[in-house]
Amino acid sequence: MKAWDYKIKPNFRPKTPAEWEWFLVRKINYDDYRGLTKGVVKKYFPKIERQLDPGKREMLKDYLGITNGNTR
C-alpha cells in the first residue's frame, strides 16, 4: 500500500543526507521498501531510528545485524 502524506515526482531520488533521512523514514514507516538497498538503510539507520515505528525499528535492527547500537 502506498499512502504518502505528500506528492513527489515518480523519478525522485534524494541528493543530500537530509533528503535521504526524510525519504527513508517515510518509505519505511509506510511499508514501501521498493528501491531501498541494505547499504543505504544501514548508512542512515543511526540517524533515523528514533523516527521509525518501534516494530519496524526492531525488524531493521535484526535485518541489519545491529545489537545495542553496534553492528555484528
pTM more than 0.85: no
- C-alpha cell, 14: 534524494
Segment 14-36 shows an average pLDDT of 92
Burial class (CB in 10 A: 0-12, 13-18, 19+), 51: middle
Q: Does position 1 have pLDDT exceeding 50, yes or no?
A: no
Rounded Cα distance, 57 and 45, in Å: 9
44 close to 21: Cβ distance less than 8 angstroms:
yes
Give the pLDDT confidence of 28-42 residue by residue, as tens digits.
Answer: 998 888 889 999 999
Rounded Cα distance, 47 and 51, in Å: 9
Report domain extents, the chain: 17-71
